[in-house]
Amino acid sequence: MKGRARRFSFSDGGLTATFNRRETTMEHLTLSIEGMSCEHCVRAVRGRLERTDGVRVDAVDIGSATLDYDPTKTTVDDIEEAIADEGYTAFVAG
């Protein structure tokens, strides 16, 4: 019965899409960051990312950052620009 209910829900595309949006799918992102050289840089980048709407910081190290972001609130470009505002150059790793 459970399986049947789930199947029915999946066959209703509109309803499923609405439900998924409300769930909010976070995207994972790993950035390489040029220009970072010490703990001050780590704090500057971390602080800026934490103030960026829709971003949840996982880790910031010298030269890299990993985070999750809500694509309905921000974009990779916005995140890279925020880091650029702090004076560093970020790009998607990998």
Is residue 40 near Cu ion by the rule CB under 5 A? yes
We find the least distance from the C-beta atom of residue 94 to Cu ion, in angstroms, to be 24
Residue 18 or 37: the one with the smaller Cβ distance to Cu ion is 37
User: Is the distance from CB of 50 to CB of 57 less than 8 angstroms?
Assistant: yes
Largest CA distance in the chain: 58
CA–CA separation, 93 and 31 (whole Å): 5
Using the rule CB under 5 A, which residue among 29, 33, 41, 83 binds Cu ion?
A: 41
Interface positions with Cu ion (CB under 5 A):
37-38, 40-41
